[in-house]
Amino acid sequence: MGSLRSFSRAHIHGIDGLRAIAAFAVVAHHVGFDTGTTTHSRFGVILEQLDIGVAVFFVLSGFLLGAPFVQRILDDRPIDGIGRFWLRRAARIYPAYWLVLTVMVVFLGTSIDSLYQFVAYYGLVQIYDADLFFGGMVQAWTLCTELAFYAVLPLIAITAKFMVRRLKRISADNALLAGCVLLYLASTAWRLAMYGFHPSFGRIALLWLPGQLDLFALGLGLAVVRARANRDERFNQRVQAFVRIPALWWAAAVAVFAFTCVAGLLRPIVPVGTPFTFGDGTEFSRQIAFGLFSLLLIAPIALRRSPDRITSMTLGSRPMVFLGVVSYGVYLWHKSLIAKVQEWFGWGFFEGNFLVVFLVVSMLSTALAWLTHRWVESPSLRLTDRGENRSAVTDNSKD
């Protein structure tokens, strides 16, 4: 009871569809850049912002993985099974990643030149070395940050439980929400420190967990609100009234996304060690806007007790569920396929028809992702199920 396994079995309709949207937004973002469409098309400003899919993934991780810990804290039950939680998260990330990275090294020309690089890339710690940050699998920086979140989440939960017990005058759910606010503010302070003190590692430090923890904190906040709604029917009625029309939330999310495009909130493409300038403040605003967009997109799905008709027909449809299930594989495979598809059509880097490349890469990466999910991801997770203590904090999420 209260484990992430039981939470995931109470399937939240539409979550897989959100994963699919996030994954293919990132595919479009990378195809746009590699074909030159981002810089040479009037639609480029939209493609530039589609890495917003990463923010959606981070908020989803905070919500789905934080839920069992929140439930245990509110029920005043021990947070056990942490080792198995870490084992399952490693099984979720590493085997498929190792497969794709090995294919890239053996067949696609990705270079690993030393034992140090091998350990860094295969261990998913390359983002802590500026010289390796963009090597190996470029998009894997997000996996490094995810792994850091997995590592500290149980520790955050243990600390939160201790504080909840000490703060007798504040209800447990309000204390947890305050904790989420503190995590968000701490992440904001970290990014401000990078801008204020200009350390040599500042640019890559924005992408480390402290610089992205605000997004995970938003997801944790949603988990707290959902848990309170499940325990308090009067509060739940207010929540259900608030998220009654998901389309309104999504319209607000589109408005936020449009603002990022119109305002030109772009991430500067400069060498990692380049000092910050005043103009880089746009990236700071961009992070806040991306978090707000993700919250508006996910909240009506995460907090509703039953899906509305529009959600069922779109995000909950069979094709979207399938794409969401294999979205991790799509994320892993797509970037290395872009150059190969350009080569097949006789196009070089910064060349090619965006739509053609996007469609071909999407189809190929989906097919490979399905194979990876069936033969690598699922078997790896099943191995961690053997002998599982059902009362421990474990998970069965596809996040």
Q: Would residue 392 count as lying in a domain?
A: no
CB within 8 Å of 58: residues ≥ 6 apart? 142, 145, 146, 149, 212, 215, 216, 219, 294
Q: Is the pLDDT of residue 277 over 50?
A: yes
Residue 299 CB neighbours (<10 A): 23
pLDDT range class, residue 391, cuts 50, 70, 90: very low
Q: Which of 357, 74, 346, 114 is nearest to 225 (CA)?
A: 74
Tell which wins on pLDDT, 110 or 274: 110
Q: Would residue 225 count as lying in a domain?
A: yes
Mean pLDDT of 348-364: 97
Q: Which of 158, 295, 288 is nearest to 222 (CA)?
A: 295
Look at residue 390 in the predicted model and tell me its pLDDT.
46
pLDDT digits (tens, 9 = 90+) for 30-63: 999 999 999 999 899 999 999 999 999 999 999 9
Q: Is the pLDDT of residue 6 over 60?
A: no
Q: Is the pLDDT of residue 395 over 90?
A: no
Look at residue 174 in the predicted model and tell me its pLDDT.
95
Which two three-digit tokens encode residue 291?
Answer: 């978090």
Q: Would residue 395 count as lying in a domain?
A: no
Q: Is the pLDDT of residue 305 over 50?
A: yes
Look at residue 4 in the predicted model and tell me its pLDDT.
39
Look at residue 3 in the predicted model and tell me its pLDDT.
44
Q: Is 16 exposed, middle or buried (0-12, 13-18, 19+ CB in 10 A)?
A: buried
CB within 8 Å of 151: residues ≥ 6 apart? 86
Q: Is the pLDDT of residue 372 over 70?
A: yes
Mean pLDDT of 298-315: 91
Mean pLDDT of 166-188: 94
In angstroms, how far is the first alpha carbon of the chain from the final one?
20
Look at residue 399 in the predicted model and tell me its pLDDT.
52
- Contact assessment for residue 31 and residue 361, using Cβ atoms and an 8 Å cutoff: yes
Q: Would residue 144 count as lying in a domain?
A: yes
Q: Is the pLDDT of residue 392 over 70?
A: no
Q: Is the pLDDT of residue 293 over 70?
A: yes
pLDDT digits (tens, 9 = 90+) for 91-109: 999 999 999 999 999 999 9
Look at residue 116 in the predicted model and tell me its pLDDT.
97
Mean pLDDT of 20-25: 98
The alpha-helical segments, DSSP class H, found in the chain are 4-9, 15-34, 37-40, 44-48, 52-74, 82-107, 115-123, 141-166, 172-197, 202-205, 209-231, 233-242, 246-262, 281-303, 309-313, 318-325, 327-344, 354-372, 378-385
Q: Which amino acid is at 243?
A: V
The alpha-helical segments, DSSP class H, found in 198-280 are 202-205, 209-231, 233-242, 246-262
Q: Would residue 397 count as lying in a domain?
A: no
240-244, 263-267, 350-354 — which is least confidently predicted? 263-267
Which two three-digit tokens encode residue 112?
Answer: 């690993």
Look at residue 396 in the predicted model and tell me its pLDDT.
41
CA separation for the pair 372, 364 (Å, rounded): 12
- Contact assessment for residue 309 and residue 2, using Cβ atoms and an 8 Å cutoff: no
Domain count within the chain: 1
Look at residue 159 in the predicted model and tell me its pLDDT.
96
pLDDT digits (tens, 9 = 90+) for 114-135: 999 999 999 999 999 999 998 9
Mean pLDDT of 309-319: 91
Mean residue pLDDT of the chain comes to 91
Residue 280 belongs to what domain range? 4-385
Look at residue 280 in the predicted model and tell me its pLDDT.
59
Instruction: Return the percentage of the chain with pLDDT > 90, whole number.
Output: 80
